[in-house]
Structures are given as structure tokens and as C-alpha cells.
A and B are shown apart, each in its own frame.
Chain A
């Protein structure tokens, strides 16, 4: 051991470049984690801006602000920026920062690849944004008006902006697959001696499952959009019925990726909760093993239920029955996870700092979203719900709590560790309340809109839908602007604040709390020894 540490100590001083080189050439998991998080924050604001434009347009019936193609372009852009730009990179940022600290590893297993998987992202993000703006230049063709699902034949009609988007998806996919490989290799090889897989912190487990899912499904999406590219430019007709192809094939490829993708977005945040709730309930996570089992089950079953997004394409009775029952069954592992969280709170000694407030809100609201998911799974009823605002309400109720709020909880939970300063608890709570109120105000009424017959992705609607749209748009403005407060809190914490101890939270357990706050540039150069009773 002493041998390795001398080897490491020597190059430190001249191997740590400063200025822009520190970031561009970084192979340090903490710096790369920070880059990921900053990138995600920037994309969160861009995606948020498109969402607020959408809601501003829908504030009243009629077409006031946008034109229909710009509206559809924003709908597409919003989803892609949020999914690929904000949530996935933010989760990868947490993984980069926390996984090595949690498993007692000096860094990620493949640091140079780590650098690559981050630095592909700004290029991909630029392509994604270009796909949005190119139509505004002379000769730029028509706007992407397909929604994030990119269904042909509509996506074949779109101008060159679609090609930018296809390449952006390729790049984003490469970045995710590289990051996933790195995470899997790190988790399987770099755990401190004595940390068996079944002692690994749950956040690491969630990322292990997520990384496998990504490697399995991202290439399918890449294949699908490549076929689309060929149909657009090279005279193939994979998806063109007139040429012997099949437009529905694309939907299968898309959702074979798309459904597991929702678990990719969900699981890392479930991982965060599995640390936040025990910390603030001051007792160990209830059901560690069943948590691991549940997430593996979710990942596995989640791979084979994709066509519940396509109940209306005219599948056979046998096929829809299968997809319905498979989808309903997912509620078993998902229910078990929620149960474990509640049982962790039960008979604890809870306090309610900002991360815990988010955790409680997640349990309540995610349950709500999961239950509307079960309603959607029921084929005959989904013949009504499908492609209505009810679906929009459902997936925002699962994604916002299930993914975004989980990330917020993680940021508040670990910010003191990263920066060495406590964030302003009063402002944190204020942010929570405004944010969660705005969220519910925005999305709760959309259930009613959907049931009353309002389809999704329309720029203009009949007057009978006005009231709920007004409420929803007001909520969206509150919700959207509340994120400026988040930005302020984060900047304020980076710049100063009450110094954080290394444990930060009274109830915190785990290796990451044994290093200083902020941690030194290099940590765990000597692997810690895992004591028998110590686990997540």
C-alpha cells in the first residue's frame, strides 16, 4: 500500500493542471462530476424555457405566441433537452462524484474514457440545439414537428433539422454507453476490500442496473434513428409502407428503448432516496435485499413491456393482453420500493431538512404517478387515455418526483460534501415549497383535461378546456421561475457558507462521509477496510 501511495504522491503537483486545462483534460472523477452537473443545470434551464413557452401559448385558447410548427418544435426540444440533456447527465454527475467515494475507490476505473464521455456531451448538446434553430436560417428547411417520439412518416417529411437531431442522438447515445461501461467496470472491480456486492451502497446498485439497461437499449434506438436517416436520404424504405416497409416497426424500436429509458431516469433517484431517507430517519434502510431484488426485477420486466405505449396500433388480442399484464406486474417491484421507503421512515426519528422534504414529496407524488400508470396499463381504458393530456400528467407525476426531485434531493444532500459549505436551509425549504406547489398546480389539472378529451401536443384548443389550462399555465410559471432560486442557492453555497463537517448530517452513514468536506482532490488512495457490520 505504501508503495502505491508514494507512486501517487509524486506526480500530484505537476499533474494537476489549472485553468481551462484542468477541466478540458480532466480525468478526475470529482471534476468530471462537477462538469456533468453544470452541463445538466444549463440544459435544465433551456428545457425549462421551452416548457414555459409551451405553457404560455396554452394559457388561453387560440394561437397567440407561437406558430404550430414552432410549438411542435418546442415540444420535441423540451423532452429531448430534459431527458438527454438534464436528467441523464445530472444522474451521471452524481455517479461520478459519489460512486468512487462510496465504494472507497481512488477514481473511476477508466478515467480517460470518463473524460471522453463527458466531452462528447457539449458537442451533442450543440447538435441538439442546432436541430432546433437551423430552420430559422435561410434554406434551413422545416422545423421538427414530431415530438420526441420521432414517428415516421412525419419525421421523414421534416427538413434537415431532423438530420442534426439524429446525429445528436447518436452522440448522446455514445456518451451514455461509454459512461455506463465505466460505471459497471468501476463497480465490479474497484470496491474496497470487504465490500461485497451485497454490501454495496444502494445508490451504486441503482447505477449498476441503470448502466446495464443503457447498454442494452441505447443501441436499439441508435439503430432505429439510423434506419430513419437511411429512409430520409438513401432511398431505403424501412418505415415506408409504399416501399414494403413498416411505419410501426419504428415505434417498436423506439419504445424498446423508450420504456427502459424511463427506468434509466428513475433508478438513480431511487438510489439517492435510499440514502436520504435513512439519514434523516436516523435508522438503516428497510429491506436492503428486497430493494436490490426489486430494482433488478424492474429492469428485467421493464425490458419486455414496451408496447404499452402502442396499444392503439391494432395489435392482436394476445399481444395486448400480454403487454397489459406485464405492465401491471411492474407495480409489484415498484410498490415494494415505495413500501421500503415508508418502512424506513416508520418508527424513525425524523427531521425535515430540504433533502428529506423532497424525499417525502417524492414518496407521495410518485405513488400517485405510479397509480395512474396502472390505470394506463389497462388496455380498454387506455384506448381513452392514450395520447391525451392524462398521459402527460402521468409521466410528469412519475418523472418529476421520480427523477428530477430525486436529483434535487441528491444535490441538497451532497452539496455540503462537495463544496464544504452548508447551503441556506431556509432558502432550501422555501425553494421546496414553491417548487412542489408549482409542480402540482401545473400537472394535477392535466388529468382532468385528458379525461375531458383534450389530446396532447395541440397548440390550440376548444374553449371548454380553458379553465384547467389557465391553472396549469399559472402553475408552470411558478414552477419554472422557482428554479432561479435553486440556481441562487447553489451559487451561494459554492461561494461560501457555514463550514460543513465531514459527516454533514447527524444520521449519515457510509464511506463518503468519512472524507473531509470538501474532499481533497484525490481520495481513498489507500482503500478503507470495510467492517463486518458496515453496509449501506
Chain B
């Protein structure tokens, strides 16, 4: 009685899991499903197909194994009076199965490997002798930087806090990676600090961002849309807060976007180059905005930090001490820690951030730092 239950029972958990999984899928996961989202590039489609192929082969083999085991569990039981066949391993099958089984498995393996190899070739190497648009993707703790090398545009992309993002929290960013459709794009991946990984499922590839390395991938988007992914290599405290959002637009719209970005860039450069003396209030306002996007992830909005990894700036000895040390920390960072070098910011930006830090919260140095001071300190 209890016996019968035990024999078939090995199956119940996986099946129950599957059923539970499928029913949930219909109710709430409809948008994303239980499989990869529909690919947005031809190579991505091939990757999707090879995934489906191996999954189908695996499912088929699983069914074969399950059926044989269940048959045996049911019929070859002592309680049914089945006599053990003491010579089964000495039959011709017993003597030759060590050849037959590997040969069958090899057949399956070769099917998978040959199909995979064909796709791999297309995916792996970036097309040669063609005009490609280059986008350099740099991972930082904990944001992404996109350099459109052909257009001289740089975009910084950070997660959107829950209040603004709502249901898209951890899947939405302030500045998206805008890309044109029907254009071969080469991504150059690298990192400014620790390992990160670029992963947007619709593009169907993942590539690590490794400091000191530049690795390549490529894609050609075949439809417009917004595709969401996130950093896939553990990169420390806020690994969960590095979404990636690709906005795929037509080449015309992309050109408009490029023009806009270039104007913004020119305006910012003009502002920074202006030889005016900035007032404390102007610098504080700019500094606050910059601090909150760039610095607050670690040092926190109120400057309290997250010790011991991220020291507080409120009351910090460096922030309240001689200004040279403060310049040095911001411009050059602190090697071996998460504090990166912020020297790529322009003089105005650094002046604003330092002015803000030295006068915000309980810090009362009263210093006003001008862009020219920063230029001298570099």
C-alpha cells in the first residue's frame, strides 16, 4: 500500500514544481514568461534557437530516462514477486552496453555541438571589413558609462530610485543606452574598477567587463523597443542596482538624439570654460546635484557613509582638513578600494562637488572652490 506510493512518488516533486511554475506563469509572468524574451537581433534569434534545440533534446532524454525508471520501479519490485535476474549483466547487452551507450550519447553530443558551433562562429567574431558603430561600455561601481566613440558622446547611466521607478525599480535608469536599429554595432567592454558583466537578454549575449581588458561583442538590432537587463557579475555592495536599459530607435531618431546630446555637451563645455568666478550658491546647487547622482550611492545622501567599506564624509577629516588632500582623493581616488578616480569630470564639476562636500551637512569649512583652483591642483 505504502510501497506503491513510494515507487511512483519520485516523480511527484518535479511534476508538482512544473505545474506550480506554469500556473504562475499564466497569471503574472505573462509579460516575460518562463523563457527568454523575444530576441531583438538576428544573431540573438540564432542563440534563442540553439537554446530551444538543446532544451528540447534535454527534455526528450529526460522523458526517456523517467519512463524507463518508472517502468522498472513499477514492474521490477519484490512486492510484485518479480525475481531478480542475476545474469542480466552477463547477457550480450550487458557485455556491450559500455560501447552502445557512449555511442548513442556521442550522437546526441555531436548533434548539439555541430549546431552550436555553427551559431558560435556567427556570434563570436565581430564582422570584419565593415563599417561598425563603436560603443564603449565601461562598468563602474555601481553605474554604467557608454561612450559613443564615433560621435564623441558620453552617457552615464544609473539606477532610478524606487519612488520614481515604481514597478520598474531595478530595471530602469536615468539615462538609457540609445541605439539605432539596422546598424552593426560593436560593443567594447571594460571596467574601471572590479568585474561587471553586460547582460541584456534581448541582445542575447553577456560579456564581462574586466579592468585592463577590452573585450568585444557585436549586434544588429532588428526592431525598436526598450530592452532591460542588469549587471550579471557580482561587483560588490550594490550589484543589484546596476540595471541596463537599451532603447532601440530608428536610425533617423538616433541621429536626432545624437544632435541633442552634442548640443548639451557643447553647452556644458562652454559653461565650464567660462572664466567667471562662481558664487557659493551656484556651486552648492550644482554640487548637490552632482553629489547625489555620483557620490551618494556609497557616501549616502546625508554624507553618513556605510562604514567600514564607505567612510562618512560628514565630519570627515579629509573633507574638513587641508584642501589639497581633498582634491587628491577626488581626482585620483584611492587604489584598492571602491573609491575611484573622478579626474575625468571637468574642473567646474569637481569644484562644485568639493564646495558642496565642504559645506554640506555639519561640515562648515566655508570654502568656495573655483574651477581654476581645480585646474591648478590637477
Contact = CB atoms under 8 A, between A and B. Distances in A.
- Pairing of A with B: yes
Contacts of A314: 189, 207-208, 210, 213, 215-216
B156 to A, nearest CB: 21
A458 B232 CA distance: 9
A241 B211 contact: yes
A464 B229 CA distance: 12
A471 B22 CA distance: 12
22 contacts: A72-B239, A142-B309, A146-B234, A159-B309, A281-B76, A282-B78, A312-B233, A317-B120, A335-B105, A347-B84, A348-B82, A349-B77, A349-B78, A350-B73, A381-B116, A383-B206, A384-B201, A386-B206, A437-B13, A464-B31, A468-B29, A471-B21
A287 B237 contact: no
A387 B112 contact: no
Interface in A332-388: 332-333, 335-336, 338-340, 342-343, 345-352, 357, 360-361, 363-365, 367-368, 371-372, 374-375, 378-381, 383-384, 386-388
Contact of B69 (A342, A357, A456): A342
B236 interface: yes
A348 B238 CA distance: 55
Given A283-B84, A364-B14, A451-B36, A247 B212 contact: yes
A153 interface: yes
Interface of A: 61, 68-69, 72, 135, 140-143, 145-147, 151, 153-154, 156-157, 159, 241-242, 246-248, 281-287, 289-290, 293, 312-314, 317, 320-321, 324-325, 328-329, 331-333, 335-336, 338-340, 342-343, 345-352, 357, 360-361, 363-365, 367-368, 371-372, 374-375, 378-381, 383-384, 386-388, 429, 433, 436-437, 439-441, 444-445, 448, 451-453, 455-464, 466-468, 471
Contacts of B229: 453
Given A142-B308, A387-B197, A471 B24 contact: yes
Contacts of A429: 2, 6
Contacts of B194: 151, 153-154, 157
B232 A386 contact: yes
- Residue of B124, B169, B189 contacting most chain A CB atoms (<10 Å): B124
A351 B77 contact: yes
Interface in B7-50: 7, 9-14, 16-18, 20-21, 24-25, 27-29, 31-37, 46-47, 50
Contacts of A367: 61-62, 65
A330 to B, nearest CB: 9
A324 B18 CA distance: 29
Contacts of A281: 76, 84
Interface in B75-89: 76-79, 82-86, 88-89
Contacts of B204: 383-384
A146 to B, nearest CB: 7
B10 A361 contact: yes
B292 to A, nearest CB: 19
A346 B109 contact: no
A153 to B, nearest CB: 5
B167 A463 contact: yes
A452 B29 contact: yes
B223 interface: no
A321 B76 CA distance: 43
Nearest to A452: B32
B240 A283 contact: no
B147 to A, nearest CB: 18
A380 B239 contact: no
B109 A329 contact: yes
B205 interface: yes
Contacts of B171: 462, 464
Given A349-B76, A433-B9, A462-B171, A287 B20 contact: no
Nearest to B23: A467
Interface string B106-124: 1011001100110111011
B46 A154 contact: no
B275 interface: no
Contacts of A153: 193-195, 211
A532 B78 CA distance: 29
A371 B10 CA distance: 18
B101 A339 contact: yes
Interface residues of B, number: 116
Nearest to B199: A455
A154 B54 contact: no
10 smallest A-B Cβ distances: which pairs? A241-B212, A314-B215, A444-B17, A440-B13, A290-B98, A458-B240, A371-B58, A347-B85, A142-B309, A448-B34
Given A69-B237, A372-B58, A328 B113 contact: yes
| Max chain B C-beta neighbours (<10 A), residue from A135, A286, A381 | A381
B359 to A, nearest CB: 29
Nearest to B17: A444
Nearest to A388: B232
B338 A471 contact: no
Given A153-B195, A351-B79, A364-B11, A463 B169 contact: yes
B355 interface: no
A313 B215 contact: yes
Contact of B195 (A154, A329, A464, A466): A154
Contacts of A383: 47, 123, 204-207
B255 interface: no
B85 A283 contact: yes
B364 interface: no
A281 B120 CA distance: 45
B76 A437 contact: no
B76 A347 contact: yes
A283 B336 contact: no
Nearest to A361: B10
A441 to B, nearest CB: 6
Given A367-B62, A453-B201, A464 B47 contact: no
Nearest to A142: B309
Contacts of A325: 113, 117
A343 B97 contact: yes
B54 A374 contact: yes
